[in-house]
Amino acid sequence: MTTDDLVVDTTHGPVRGADGDGITGTRTWKGIPYAAPPVGDLRFRLPEPPEPWTQVAEATSFGPACPQPVFPNMPLGLGAPQGEDCLRLNVWASSDTEPGAGKPVMVWLHGGAYVLGSASQALYDGHRLAAAGVVVVTVNYRLGALGFLDLSSFNSARRRFDTNVGLHDVLAALRWVRDNIAAFGGDPRRVTLFGESAGAGIVTTLLAAPAAEDLFAGAIAQSSPATSVYDRDRARRVAVATLDRLGIAPSDADRLPDAPLAAILAASQEVFDEVPVRNPGTLAFVPIVDGELLHDYPVKVAQEGRSHPVPLIIGTNRHEAALFRLMRSPLMPITPHAITSMFTQIAAEQPDLQLPTAEQIGSAYSRSRRRARLLSIATDVGFRMPSVWLAEGHRRVAPVYLYRFDYATPLLKLLLVSAAHATELPYVWGNLGVPKDPTLKLGGAKTAKAVSKRVRTRWINFATHAKPAGPAGEPDWTPYREADRACLIVNRRDAVVRDVDARIRAAWGSEMVSFR
């Protein structure tokens, strides 16, 4: 392939990519700006188009990762230095993909509790997915206070703040994909938006956002905290706490955009650590119902049949909470005190709802040992039940495919982590062992690779045909319907199971959709 073959004209200017590693037969374009650097007056504001350019820009290395604090118990290799000029995306395509080829597109949103992560993490290298016939796009979006701090109640004649700017970043990236992906060989009418954890939370949130209409034709939500979307009152309390850490009075909030970046990150880290201790089961920086981009809670919108009618894969890992226990993270309520406190706060905030008590919920898990019971409750309140509630609603407007990822290597079982939060990621991307992944050290590589092949085949077939068919001979993954509530269990072998969540659905009840 010649150098000229790697130059693609985008709506903002031409970019030159690079050949792949010669083994997978792919090419990449990295660090493409989809919005202007969100600095100066653009801090805490909606993304603006980048300045156009006429000379060919080199797109051979990742752009900056969005600024974020360093959490010692959550170490991440970001794949790039941090910097505020971070609203960049990356594209992978197979070497034989020509402009206008019309291949399905998969747009990835990374996880990280809305405060961590980047599109350049080695785990999200798109070579293997692209080699299988899709065009892959990974997206950076603003994080933490810079992306999810709601300062709108402090608007004044001196300064205006926008809400949900991290969500708006993703919408800007999706509009870029709509306008440009055909030049990279993708089909803008066949875009699947997929993500994990906070990235999946953005996916399920955008299913309820009118502004996202027609920007994607399918969605995949892996371990979505779908109910971690708050109202403006809670968001204002977080904003006040952040300003307090910075020594800025609410009346002087217009000074915040001029604060040193390091100070903003330090303050946001303190608030991020404190919020789940004070309010178990909650995060500091999340999407909010602002009445502009988001008019109501995503699960409520889905249950009322008002979510975007696109096919959806949604599911969780069997032992989500085990990762948070391993990291000693306060993000999930995994102690008796935290769980009791969480239910007490829910009851105080929502007195009109007939909510089950902590004791009633606990009785549904009575067959488990104490530690396993606590982890199961945390897994279900944080991830499983929000996903099931959303599936119950969304199935009324489009096909929904529910899954549970159960597979764990021998080492993960030995560490009592098993199928914990995020452990499915290398299987989806086909990047087992990257980077320096120790999970295969006690064996299991052959089985793990077979699991990965099945998962990738189903994800790619969903992006291509809107149906997640597996390899030949694998069970037919049928949609989630009231008659059987089919769920794909991913383990050493795939199995489609009828209403696997019946017991916990009965325990939590449908009204817990209001849990936030």
Per annotation, catalytic residue among 12, 387, 421, 424: 421
3-state secondary structure of 287: coil
Q: Supply the DSSP string of 79-104, one letter for each residue.
A: SS-B-S---EEEEEEETT--TT--EE
Q: ω into residue 435 within 30 of 0, thus cis?
A: yes
C-alpha dist (Å) from residue 362 to 19, 285, 323, 374, 507: 55, 29, 21, 8, 9
Active-site residue 197, yes or no? yes
Measure the N-to-C terminal CA separation of the chain; round to a whole number of Å. 52
Per annotation, catalytic residue among 196, 320, 392, 424: 320
DSSP 135: E
Angle formed at CA 426 by CA 475 and CA 97, multiple of 5 degrees: 85
Angle formed at CA 152 by CA 147 and CA 155, multiple of 5 degrees: 125
Per annotation, catalytic residue among 94, 118, 197, 341: 197
Q: Contact 305/393 with Cβ under 8 angstroms?
A: yes
Q: Contact 365/376 with Cβ under 8 angstroms?
A: yes
> Which amino acid would we find at residue 427?
Y
Active-site residue 511, yes or no? no
Q: Residue by residue, what is the 3-state secondary structure of 315-343?
A: EEECCCCHHHHHCCCCCCCCCHHHHHHHH
Active-site residue 421, yes or no? yes
DSSP 41: G
- Helix (H) / strand (E) element for 15: namely strand 14-16
3-state secondary structure of 65: strand
> Which amino acid would we find at residue 320?
E
DSSP 66: P
Residues that are catalytic: 197, 320, 421
